[in-house]
Chains A and B, each alone.
Chain A
Amino acid sequence: MAHDHKLEIFRGLIKFKSNEAKIWGVFAFLSVVTVIEVALGIIKPEVLTGNRFLAMKLLNWIFIVLTLVKAYYITWDFMHMRDEKKSLRRAVVWTAVFLICYLVIILLIEGDYIFDVYKSGYVKFNF
């Protein structure tokens, strides 16, 4: 078996000498991201909770983006997606991403609609 690992992350910005070094590097990066997430979750800066982008708080956008970044590095480096063939990568990632986005968008729009029905309907729900 050939063990050729692609050893650069951040689009070639950092290139590690061995696969083991890359694992520790990715771990350090994931830890930093988690620390940022937890710190933001505890501090909750006013600037980020008060302002919205596309109907969602900036803070929540940051959380979601950081989560996707973490998911990318876990899949690409820990699960070795970086070293797999492009066809396998796409069969797995594109399928899941497409279906999940579809499901999430539909359910969230529907949930928001029901919220409006509860809110503006004639039936009182708060008793």
Chain B
Amino acid sequence: MEATVAKTGTEEKTWSGGNRPLNASYGKMMMWFFIVSDALTFSGFLASYGFSRFKFIDAWPIADQVFTHFPFLHGVDAPMYYVAFMTFILIFSSVTMVLAVDAGHKMQKNKVIWYLFFTIIGGAIFVGSQAWEWATFIKGDYGAIETKGGKIVQFLNTDGERVAIADFAIELPSTKESHVEGNGVWYMQEDTQTSFTFEEVKAGFLANDNLLVRTQYLDEHGHPTVLSRAESIDKVVNDGKLVVEGANLKHNEYGTPLFADFFFFITGFHGFHVFSGVIFNIIIFFNVIIGTYERRGSYEMVEKVGLYWHFVDLVWVFVFTFFYLV
């Protein structure tokens, strides 16, 4: 058990790592340097998000028009509240973690166990919330039309409220037949079908005079540009190409596909960190319970895992700002 404690037999030696110029144990220092490198990875993600956003600065989706849902509150427009809730959960689990570290310093085993337990619960709630955010984002909201140039147009009524394509699309008789696996020699699965075809949405749009579209392009107040009825018809009929519902890596009903790509990569990478942090915490949790650190005489392992956990919180602070607020 002593193998992982900082006793290497080289204490007080100038070479072989005997010196501790930074006055931190080997493990703690390496955790810090890992955190630096991981921070650079995340900055790479966030900086390239900034790059793409600056590249399309006049047509970037506005986060609080995208993330408007709250679990169990259907149809209530609640921008930001759920992400704010997630932020609190993560900060709070950071607090319980640092309290566990503090209790570890004082060798209070039971307190460490309880605080670690709350930290794990907090982390689990956060990962669950992120999964829910993903599911909501992928499922989509109102649906939109993608143009030949890959731009998104969304539908509004004349009062400026969003309208779902399902509310106005007209079912057209279709002769489409799906090729099933049992038929023919060569079988290729077709792409996921949207609930309405472009023609159906177009017909519904033309039949409803109170429908307008808005483009991705932002006006001088930072709102998406709403076209007049004539311009809207022109846009849908001449440029429209396909129906988009929800988001994946290629299409995104909220705006430019890059927005969805960065959403998946940044929050996904962060969520993966939270997930591994929870795993680490669980391992440490059981080690504390069976008394490993009590026998070792030091709860430094809790501190090292704590550093990682706080780092995950730190990254979320930045993701929250740059993805949801700015």
Partner of B94, one of A19, A74, A100, A119: A74
- 0/1 interface trace, chain B 285-303, chain A, CB 8 Å (1 if under): 0000000000000100001
Contact with A along B101-133 (1 / 0, CB 8 A): 110011000000000000000000000000000
Looking at B180-188, B192-200, B274-282, B312-320, the stretch in contact with chain A turns out to be B312-320
Using Cβ atoms and an 8 Å threshold, which residues of chain B touch A74? 94, 310, 313-314, 317
B30-68: CB near A (< 8 Å → 1, else 0) gives: 001101100110011001101111111110000010000
For residue B208, give the distance in angstroms from its CB to the closest CB of chain A. 24
Q: Does B71 contact A (CB under 8 A)?
A: no
Q: Mark B127-154, 1 if CB is under 8 A from A, else 0.
A: 0000000000000000000011101000
Q: Are A34 and B84 in contact (CB under 8 A)?
A: yes
How far, in angstroms, from A104 to B48 measured CA to CA in the complex? 8
Query: In the complex, are the beta carbons of A104 and B80 less than 8 A apart?
Result: no
- A14-55 contacts to B, CB under 8 A, are 19-20, 23-24, 27, 30-31, 34, 37-38, 41-42, 49
Interfacial chain A residues near B40, Cβ < 8 Å: 96, 99-100
- Docked-complex contact A112 and B95, CB < 8 angstroms: no
Complex partner residue of B321 from A37, A75, A80, A118, CB under 8 angstroms: A37
Would you call A31 and B47 a contact (CB within 8 A)? no
Q: Is the CB of B298 within 8 A of A107?
A: no
For residue B311, CB closer than 8 A to chain A, the reply is yes
Instruction: With A42-B80, A74-B314, A108-B51 as known contacts, state yes or no: A92 contacts B321, CB within 8 Å.
Output: no
Indicate if the CB atoms of B313 and A126 lie closer than 8 Å: no
Interface size class of A (residues with CB under 8 A): 35 or more
Q: Give complex CA distance A74, B320 in Å.
A: 15
Q: Is the CB of B92 within 8 A of A27?
A: yes
Contact (Cβ within 8 A) A126 B151: yes
Say which size band chain B's interface belongs to. 35 or more
User: B-side interface residues toward A, CB under 8 Å?
Assistant: 21-24, 29, 32-33, 35-36, 39-40, 43-44, 47-48, 50-58, 64, 79-81, 84, 87-88, 91-92, 94-95, 97-99, 101-102, 105-106, 147-149, 151, 215, 217, 222, 239, 298, 303, 306-307, 310-311, 313-314, 317-318, 320-321, 324-326
The 5 residue pairs across chains A and B that have the minimum distance between CB atoms? A111-B54, A127-B149, A88-B22, A111-B51, A107-B51
Could you show 23 A-B contacts with beta carbons less than 8 Å apart? A1-B298, A23-B95, A27-B91, A30-B91, A37-B325, A38-B81, A41-B324, A63-B325, A74-B94, A77-B98, A78-B94, A79-B311, A84-B22, A84-B24, A85-B24, A91-B22, A96-B43, A108-B51, A111-B52, A111-B55, A112-B57, A127-B147, A127-B148
